[in-house]
Structure 1
C-alpha cells in the first residue's frame, strides 16, 4: 500500500463550510432503504463512481458512526475513511483520515436522502481543502470536477435502475 499522510479530522459540518464544495442531486427510483443497501455494498461503488476502483470495509458490518473503510481510486489515490454519519434512511457521511496524496488537507462527503413519491432524492456534497499547487488546480478544474460528479450520479441512477428495476416505488 502507498504511504498515507494524515488529513485534518474534520466534522460533518465541513461539507457546509469548506472552501471547495460540490453539491449535486439526483432523483432515484428506489427507496431510501435500498439506497443504503447500495452504500453498504463495497462492489457497488466502482460501478457508479468510476474514479473508485476498490472499496474495502475495515470495520465490522453493518456500518455505523466510526466505521472505517479504505478506498482506492484511479491515478493511485488511496484514502482511509471514517464514517461521521450513518443514519438510514436519511443521511450518511465520511471523511478521509489519511490520503496517499500529501496535498489533501481535508476531504469529506455527505449524502442527504429525502423520500419522494417515486423513490428518493439524493443530494451528494463533496468538500475538500488542498495545499500547494492543488489549490490552484481546483480553481481551474472545479467546474470539470463538478460535471464529473453529476455524471457519477447519472451512473448511480442507471445502476440502481438495473439493480432494483426501473419500476416506480409505491
Structure 2
C-alpha cells in the first residue's frame, strides 16, 4: 500500500537522521554521466540492478521507480543541474517504515572523468533505521556495482 511521505527540501541531504554517502569514479565526463542519470531515466535498470523499472512522470518533473522486492517510489525532481547535480525526493512509497527520503547525485570533474557522489538521506521508524544501518554495506556495494556498470555502458558508447 503506497502512502504519502513527509515533504523535504534539498537541505535534507545534509540534515537527515540517516545519511548514507558513497562515491566512485567513472571515465565519462560529468555532462555524459548527468544525461545518463537525468535524461535516460528509463535506462536505469540496465545499470542499477536494484531498479526494476524507472519511468519519467509529470512531463519529466518526477519519476516512478520500482525496486527489487516490490518497493515502489513516486518522486519529484528537486535539482537538475546539468553536469553537476541530480536530486529527487520521494513523495510516496510502500517501503515499510520510510517517512522521508531524498537522494542526491553530485558530479565533480576528476581528471578526464567524473567523481560520482551519491547521498541517500532518509528518515523512518526505529526498525527502518536499524535495517538501513545494518544494510549500509550492501547499499554501498549496490552503488559501486551500479556505477561500475554505468561506466562500462557509457564507455561502450564512445567511438
Same fold (TM over 0.5): yes
Residue pair 1:30, 1:164 contacting (<8 A) in 2 also: no
Q: Which residue of 2 aligns with 1:168?
A: none
Q: Which residue of 1 aligns with 2:57?
A: 58
Q: With structure 1 as the length reference, what TM-score do the two structures score?
A: 0.84
Say yes or no: does 1:113 pair with 2:104: no
Q: 1:32 to 1:139 in 2, by over 3 A?
A: closer
Gaps of 5+ in 2: none
Residue pair 2:34, 2:85 contacting (<8 A) in 1 also: no
The CA RMSD measured in Å over matched residues stands at: 1.7
1:42-78 Cα distance to aligned partner (Å, 9 max, x none): 23211121110111111224xxxxx111001111100
Q: 1:139 to 1:23 in 2, by over 3 A?
A: closer
Distance 1:122 1:139 in 2: 22
Answer with 1 or 2: which has the greater Rg: 1
Gaps of 5+ in 1: 62-66, 166-170
Q: Which residue of 2 aligns with 1:80?
A: 74
Higher share of residues assigned helix: 2
Q: Which residue of 2 aligns with 1:89?
A: 83
List structure 1 segments (4+ residues) > 6 angstroms apart after TM superposition.
none
- 1:4-153 correspondence runs (5 A): 4-39=2-37, 40-61=39-60, 67-153=61-147
Q: 1:144 to 1:116 in 2, by over 3 A?
A: closer
Q: With structure 2 as the length reference, what TM-score do the two structures score?
A: 0.89
Q: CA deviation at 1:148?
A: 2.3
